[in-house]
Amino acid sequence: MREHHRAASAELLRQRHHGPGEPRGSRVVSLAAMNLDPSRIQRDIDDLSPDLREIAARIHANPELRFEEHRAAAWLAEAVEKRGIQVERGLAGMPTSLRARIGRGGGPHLAILAEYDALPEIGHACGHNLIAAGALGAFLALARQKDAVAGTIDLVGTPAEEGGGGKIRLLEAGAFEGVDAAMMFHPFDRDLLAHDTLASAWLELQFRGKPSHAALAPWDGNSALTACLDTFRLIDGQRVHFRDGVRVHGFIKSGGQAVNIIPELAVAEFSVRALDTEELARVRAIVERCARGAAMASGAELTLVDQGGYKNMVNNRKMARRFGEHLRALGRSPLEMDPAVGTGSTDMGDVSHALPAIHPWIAICGKGETTCHQHAFAERAASPAGQDSMLIAAKAMAMTCADLLLDPELRQGVREEFAQRKAGASAR
């Protein structure tokens, strides 16, 4: 079966760059002229697969939280450096970021992005270990032909996707300056090429009341915890006014000092999400209004702390569909989107507003079996089946990179779509 999929993909690439039945060398821009041989990509990733599986398993077994991914970043860098490729560390002031670069330059500049941070307590329940090893595999397969790459390909290690916004820091530091297109994949329970993600904002709400003995003189106190709890209730009462796709969820980080003290300080953290930044701003204003009202009712003081957030993902359909063609040739059956399933947020959304980008979702388990941020999903991220999907994603990404290098019509289509979407957003 693997040989069948490999042959199907090789034929797709041959037709893409030579035309059906067209002899090699018959086009002005041909593989002979460009030297890069896309038909090698699958074989090279299969050859790399023992190392890629080992790195994915090692990162999974050693989960590290945002901005603390020192071992994961080091393992990725070592895997690149031992193949004679220089690695730049500490981009944008983040010790766990990295970038490696191959190619002759003078052509398209592409970026393959890796994530590798884990979640508190539930580890790699978002499958970032697979994202990291898959990105590494795509890059290393292309690096085997680095002298033939008529352009530039970066592997960019991006820390702290889980709430830290590492890609935003990289954008602000100019790490994506001159990059023509960026890509990554994300594990899921189904294959989706261009599924939306939500714009998001994180808020910390700090309520400060007046302490007093909870039995002796409760009337002399103002409960910060009551204000905090009332905020949750007021937000729930406003949900009827939220548009479809909006998500507001939070938890209490601190709720008091002792059972016999009227709570002086209570702290809650909220995530506010919406389909676009305009609706996000509207819903955020509602959340802040609820917090102010609750604080006023309890005689507490409110401090709002903006903890940042992400833009919604704008998938480049032209690029995503080309990725999908390779995915189908590899034996998968992806949908473009699935309105029946929810979505989250990612700092890849911010990248997609700055340059053409894709963020396809790749199944590592059966549909509906489990999903991101669940214990069972963390188990699937360590499974042989999850690693198999990682290798398929690596192949599809590497072959999409090859297409972007070799197909000027695809590059033009990707640029035009991005320009049209950006113009449309500016006009709103």
Mean pLDDT of 55-66: 98
With 60 as the cut, is the pLDDT of residue 26 above it?
no
SS3 (DSSP) at 225:
helix
Q: How many angstroms separate the CA atoms of 74 and 229, rounded?
A: 43
- Residue pLDDT, tens place only, 189-211: 999 999 999 999 999 999 999 99
Angle (CA) 411-173-322 rounded to 5° is 20
- Residue pLDDT, tens place only, 156-198: 999 999 999 999 999 999 999 999 999 999 999 999 999 999 9
Helix (H) or strand (E) holding 284: helix 277-298
Q: Are 321 and 174 spatial neighbours (Cβ–Cβ below 8 Å)? A: no
> Where are the extended beta strands (E) located within 316-425?
357-358, 361-363
- Residue pLDDT, tens place only, 215-270: 999 999 999 999 999 999 999 999 999 999 999 999 999 999 999 999 999 999 99
What number of CA atoms fall less than 13 Å from residue 340's CA on the CB side?
6
DSSP state of 40: G
- Residue pLDDT, tens place only, 106-147: 999 999 999 999 999 999 999 999 999 999 999 999 999 999
